[in-house]
Structure 1
Amino acid sequence: MSHASLADFLALLQDNNELVRVSALVDSSIEIAAITDRATKATPSGPALFFENVKNSTIPVVTNLLGSRRRICLCLGVSDLTEVCGEVERRLELAQPASWLDSLKLVPSRGSMGQFAPKLVKTAACQQVVRVGRDVNLWDLPVPRNWKGELDPVITSGQLAVVHPQTRKLHLFQSPLVVAGQSELGWYDEHPVQRDIIHAAISSGQNLPVSISLGGDPLLCVATGLPWVGDVRGFVGQLRGASLELVRCRTNEIEVPAGSEFILEGYIDAANSRTSRARTVARGNGSYVSRELPLIQLTAITHRANPVFPATVVGLPPSEESWITAARERIQLSMVKRLLPEVMDLHQPFSAAGRNILFVRIRKTVEFQARRILHSLWGLEELGQTKMIVIVDEDVDVQNEAAVWFTVGTNTCPSRDFLFSDGLARDDDYTPLTESLASRVGIDATRKSSRESERPWPETLQASDEMMARVTERWAEYGLAD
């Protein structure tokens, strides 16, 4: 499914009754976030919200864009999230991994690699209006301030593009960006790779060019959070079945999605690389992080003639982030199954806030297999900071949280089946042992063989297949059809 612009996707949502236009005057400071947070926590999930009349701005704001199962499916071009893993493999025509290292990436086959590669264009709608130098003014944008503890507005849905000064490799991140001044942004550099890039530039005395895109195909929001995808833009092209068009920025050499609503261009000054004071950012685990941030000096803001400002409200689950995480989880399953074929399914419940808990269903064939899988999963960059991983047998539905916790309660002996390990702490985690060291636990909730347990494992209660088929056939006859 290809969406050339945010307007295309909004039209699709409108046609599917998934978009509500709010004409009442609203304030971008906390009010938009409060409305959105209530909508995301409705049952069923509330609609995408298009705020037409924002205080002190002529630019409308859209929130909760991907905040439901149906809208995530519309974004991915599937009818249900369960189809995503198979669709990823089909659309990418995945090549068989030549080595163990190749298994760590989603590698398209040679025949499909160039078909939907990004294309560079000379002109783009995202550069219909160009403001440079003294005309750059972030206060003209309706950037929301989401929570009372955030003293500054925060851009939450931008894709940040930066080139490593030594390797010359393009990296894409989706990080909170704090409005620190008229033409200054504080970059919440939560990932070690981000810090390495910034440090490499500053230590060599080079200014680091940075570009941020907002809007465009919403699939970019999903894919940018997948660090194991080597070429995010090529990956998006393969998934959407159409090449992503790129345009070169006006004040640096970085190429950005041509279908964006806004492009913010700038650099980190090697001689003035930090914000003047600590900046506070709200995180999806329900807490704030406050510290000095790398400072991006903006050199240009370009946008469409009639732009829409997209915003994601970060908050306690369920939130829009919860559904984006669910989509990434389905895509990630493709990679995990290539590395560990015995893995049948995995699931991060909303209560995990996209990071803390992972349920994994396996086809167990040998004793202590769950332990090997635990350590393999922790060895992956994107799962290494998961606090708790639960491994269950193939007959347990990991999408059913109650079924998983029932299995943990009945199938585990904590002294034997709880495995503790230390790993790198997340920057926004306030629970670790030390500033950089966090504790993790793996739970083997699989049935145990005679070599794993001295006591025989009981048979699970279940009706025979024949009886279940008979009951299904006669269900209406029992008077229970309704």
Structure 2
Amino acid sequence: MAYKNLRHFIEKLEQEGELLRISTFVDPKLEIAEITDRVSKMPGGGKALLFENTGYDFPVLINSMGSYKRMCMALGVQELDDVTREIEDLFKMLSKPKESILDKLAMLPKLGQFASWMPKVVSGKGSCQEVVMANPDLGKLPVLTCWPKDGGPFITLPVIHTKDPLTGSRNVGMYRMQVFEKDMTGMHWHKHKVSAKHFMEYKKLNKRMPVAVVLGGDPVYTYSATAPLPENVDEYMLAGFLRKKKVELVKCITQPEIEVPADADFVIEGYVDPAEDLIWEGPFGDHTGYYSLADWYPRFHVTAITHRKDAVYPSTIVGIPPQEDAWIGKATERIFLAPIKMTLVPEIINMEMPVEGVFHNLVIAQIKKDYAGQAQKVMNAMWGAGQMMFNKILVVADEGEDITDYKKLAQYVFRHLNPATDIYLSQGPMDVLDHSCSKMGFGGKMCIDGTRKYEEETDNTYLEAVAPRDIDKASIMRQFPEIKDINSSLLAMDIPCILVAIQKNRPFHVRELNEQLYALPALAGVKMVLYVEHTVDVTDLASALWRFCNNMDPKRDSFVINKPASQAGRYIGAIGMDGTLKTRLLDNFERDWPNIIVADDATIRKVDAIWKDLQIGPFVASPSLKYKHQIYGEEAVVEQ
């Protein structure tokens, strides 16, 4: 369905019991984020929150898409897979041979439907321009400061419009915006993004780049800005398809080259001057659960701010998962399964992006396997597909198990895995926010082939050892005092993997320890050891996996073991992976290492004190308390 505006969506949320109105005063500086962090980690994502008393003229809506149900409501569907099936049906219809005139005539209604999704520029002004600020001032908007070490307040849900100066094609993307002055922000577009390419074209032409930023309107606009569409595919065509109604656009007042949705809540117009010096932007508590480091980015100068008379300021926070962005990612996972299947990987059955993998870090692909080497074929195809190029760990399974049942999936994958031959390491472009790479935006990748193997894929020099059901952790920890804890619980589930918390004290420590551990008879048959920092609670599998995925570069930090078996010339394969933090002293790691994101004590105490007044429900302690002992000092970045 198409929402008339953001207020319309809020009404629907309230009707469905998915919204909490908070009338108590809450400060947009740190307090809204702390409350939202507690609510978003409630079962199922908690409720959407409308903060009506912020000290500003506009209420703040947050966590509005922070559950499966609310994500479906935002896209106007009962189930996210409904969109997948609809896209798949479209692809099948378009690719079907048209043998007769009747077949071709049958296409006409569908072609008309395509036309109805295309955005349309209308004359006059839109409701987004009902109020024009005489002197544009970002200080009049309730822009959140989310985390204590953030570089300042950030607009976190901006829908940013740019155009290619040569072709005129529009791009709609989402990049955080740090507010520096009343009429100036940073523009945090990464070098891989389309808007950054537009910026470089304007730089060649030595021209100012017009930009418009939209906040609010139909929530489909926000989702479409995050969607991994091919370059030069208009995001508002996707929005029209999802809402079953074309998006009506109006020209900006001071940047008429750019058109924006007429029903948006706010429009921030301005420009980026490629000839101008960049600005030092950040740090920012990011979706990885770590602070992304400060860096140089373009300046965005505001020339106008317009808004609806009844405007609502939409926002979000990102940080240690789960957060609202996990559900936006789930929508992308489901919606883009069909295009991947129909155009790139026809054998794919299903895809899963676990929350702990924060989007790119961990992706599971399930395929229908028909021949040897098919998992590697899928690996190459997926790593070459749009934003999937940022994927760090790809697990490929076949139709033998449901990949959404992680326990059964792990059992199946490990049953068919020889770590010495079935794990493939590569290098390529990585997310700029990935702090584990030795070089920014470039690092290691790993594919774990957990499919059943054909004879051609089997190396007979390796034997399969029987994995233990448990190990003597106390004995191992006495022998290796740098090991602070071991989680061997997976062994009892027929998953031959253990997690080890280590306090490193010398260069190459993890590599050496891995060799020493695998020399122990007790670890025969354990196929994988995952190492994390000694401060990590390895008994909390979800949290430990999140830390591990963030902190490992697969190519640099994987150590394959070929352990001689009792039979001459035969081996047992195993692997250790180093998911600890990296330093110059111990790891020859030259980049700064960021800290995990936690709220400050004063904000936690303030929210504790007002919790009852918020009328959210039973008291919920700050999620940050779980991680306070895991930060590395007072600064957001570890200086090494």
In the alignment, which residue of structure 1 is the partner of 2:126? Answer: 124
* Distance in 2, Cα, partners of 1:278 & 1:316: 21
> What's the % identity of the aligned pairs?
32
The one of 248, 255, 261 aligned to 1:257: 261
Question: What letter matches 1:78 in structure 2?
Answer: V
In the alignment, which residue of structure 1 is the partner of 2:361? Answer: 356
Q: Give CA deviations for 1:352-402 in whole Å, capped at 9, x if unaligned.
A: 111111001111111111110011000112101100111111132122222
Contact 2:434 2:441 in 1 (8 A): no
Is 1:395 aligned to 2:396, yes or no?
no
In the alignment, which residue of structure 2 is the partner of 1:171? Answer: 171
For the residue of structure 2 that corresponds to 1:292, the secondary structure is: strand
The 1:376–1:92 alpha-carbon spacing in structure 2 relative to 1, beyond 3 Å, is: closer
The 1:2–1:92 alpha-carbon spacing in structure 2 relative to 1, beyond 3 Å, is: farther
Cα offset for 1:403? 2.5
Is 1:206 aligned to 2:210, yes or no?
no
Cα offset for 1:218? 0.8
Cα offset for 1:317? 1.2
In the alignment, which residue of structure 2 is the partner of 1:232? Answer: 235
Question: Counterparts in 2 of 1:101-180, with a 5 A limit?
Answer: 110-121=111-122, 122-132=124-134, 135-180=135-180
In the alignment, which residue of structure 1 is the partner of 2:637? Answer: none
In the alignment, which residue of structure 1 is the partner of 2:326? Answer: 322
In the alignment, which residue of structure 2 is the partner of 1:182? Answer: 182
In the alignment, which residue of structure 2 is the partner of 1:17? Answer: 17
Q: Which has the higher contact order (CA 8 A, sep 6+)?
A: 1
Question: What letter matches 1:282 in structure 2?
Answer: G
Unaligned runs of 5+ in 1: 99-107, 458-482
Cα offset for 1:189? 1.2
Is 1:287 aligned to 2:303, yes or no?
no
The 1:362–1:92 alpha-carbon spacing in structure 2 relative to 1, beyond 3 Å, is: closer
* Matched residue count: 444
Is 1:411 aligned to 2:436, yes or no?
no
Cα offset for 1:164? 1.7
Unaligned runs of 5+ in 2: 98-108, 465-640
Cα offset for 1:93? 8.2
Structure 1 stretch 371-380 or stretch 448-457: which is displaced more?
448-457
Question: Counterparts in 2 of 1:292-311, with a 5 A limit?
Answer: 292-311=296-315
Is 1:428 aligned to 2:427, yes or no?
no
TM-score by length of 2: 0.67
Question: What letter matches 2:286 in structure 1?
Answer: R
Cα offset for 1:194? 3.0
In the alignment, which residue of structure 1 is the partner of 2:620? Answer: none
Cα offset for 1:202? 2.2
The one of 386, 390, 399 aligned to 1:385: 390
The 1:140–1:427 alpha-carbon spacing in structure 2 relative to 1, beyond 3 Å, is: same
Cα offset for 1:90? 4.8
Cα offset for 1:172? 1.2
Question: Counterparts in 2 of 1:4-83, with a 5 A limit?
Answer: 4-55=4-55, 57-83=56-82
Structure 1 stretch 63-72 or stretch 446-455: which is displaced more?
446-455
For the residue of structure 2 that corresponds to 1:67, the secondary structure is: coil
* Distance in 2, Cα, partners of 1:447 & 1:155: 47
* Distance in 2, Cα, partners of 1:278 & 1:234: 32
Cα offset for 1:167? 3.0
* Distance in 2, Cα, partners of 1:266 & 1:147: 27
* Distance in 1, Cα, partners of 2:92 & 2:6: 27
Structure 1 stretch 85-94 or stretch 362-371: which is displaced more?
85-94
Contact 2:375 2:449 in 1 (8 A): yes
For the residue of structure 2 that corresponds to 1:451, the secondary structure is: helix
TM-score by length of 1: 0.88
Structure 1 stretch 337-346 or stretch 108-117: which is displaced more?
108-117
In the alignment, which residue of structure 2 is the partner of 1:331? Answer: 335
Q: Give CA deviations for 1:91-113 in whole Å, capped at 9, x if unaligned.
A: 78862299xxxxxxxxx964432
Alpha-carbon RMSD:
2.0
Q: Give CA deviations for 1:186-240 in whole Å, capped at 9, x if unaligned.
A: 0111242333222221232100000000101111222222232512101211221
The 1:94–1:75 alpha-carbon spacing in structure 2 relative to 1, beyond 3 Å, is: farther
Cα offset for 1:270? 3.2
In the alignment, which residue of structure 2 is the partner of 1:467? Answer: none
* Distance in 2, Cα, partners of 1:259 & 1:89: 30
Question: What letter matches 1:429 in structure 2?
Answer: D
Contact 1:94 1:109 in 2 (8 A): no
Question: What letter matches 2:49 in structure 1?
Answer: L
Cα offset for 1:119? 2.1
Question: What letter matches 1:259 in structure 2?
Answer: D
* Distance in 1, Cα, partners of 2:277 & 2:212: 16
Cα offset for 1:85? 0.8
The 1:17–1:303 alpha-carbon spacing in structure 2 relative to 1, beyond 3 Å, is: same
The 1:319–1:445 alpha-carbon spacing in structure 2 relative to 1, beyond 3 Å, is: same
In the alignment, which residue of structure 2 is the partner of 1:468? Answer: none
Question: What letter matches 1:80 in structure 2?
Answer: E
Question: What letter matches 2:377 in structure 1?
Answer: R
* Distance in 2, Cα, partners of 1:83 & 1:169: 29
Structure 1 stretch 357-366 or stretch 445-454: which is displaced more?
445-454
Question: What letter matches 1:62 in structure 2?
Answer: L
In the alignment, which residue of structure 2 is the partner of 1:465? Answer: none
Structure 1 stretch 391-400 or stretch 375-384: which is displaced more?
391-400
The 1:26–1:92 alpha-carbon spacing in structure 2 relative to 1, beyond 3 Å, is: farther
Cα offset for 1:81? 2.8
* Distance in 1, Cα, partners of 2:448 & 2:2: 41
Contact 2:389 2:430 in 1 (8 A): no
Contact 1:127 1:304 in 2 (8 A): yes
* Distance in 2, Cα, partners of 1:23 & 1:315: 25
Contact 1:164 1:197 in 2 (8 A): yes
Cα offset for 1:437? 2.0
Question: Counterparts in 2 of 1:359-378, with a 5 A limit?
Answer: 359-378=364-383
Q: Give CA deviations for 1:137-192 in whole Å, capped at 9, x if unaligned.
A: 00010000101111311111111000122332211111101101110010111242
Structure 1 stretch 171-180 or stretch 266-275: which is displaced more?
266-275
* Distance in 1, Cα, partners of 2:211 & 2:34: 31
* Distance in 1, Cα, partners of 2:282 & 2:322: 25
For the residue of structure 2 that corresponds to 1:179, the secondary structure is: strand
Larger radius of gyration: 2
Question: What letter matches 1:238 in structure 2?
Answer: F
* Distance in 2, Cα, partners of 1:264 & 1:194: 16
Structure 1 stretch 397-406 or stretch 149-158: which is displaced more?
397-406
* Distance in 1, Cα, partners of 2:234 & 2:95: 18
Cα offset for 1:80? 2.4
In the alignment, which residue of structure 2 is the partner of 1:474? Answer: none
Contact 2:247 2:261 in 1 (8 A): yes
Q: Give CA deviations for 1:298-346 in whole Å, capped at 9, x if unaligned.
A: 0000001121100011112111000000001111101111022210110
Contact 1:422 1:437 in 2 (8 A): yes
Question: What letter matches 2:442 in structure 1?
Answer: L
* Distance in 2, Cα, partners of 1:444 & 1:73: 33
Question: What letter matches 1:231 in structure 2?
Answer: D
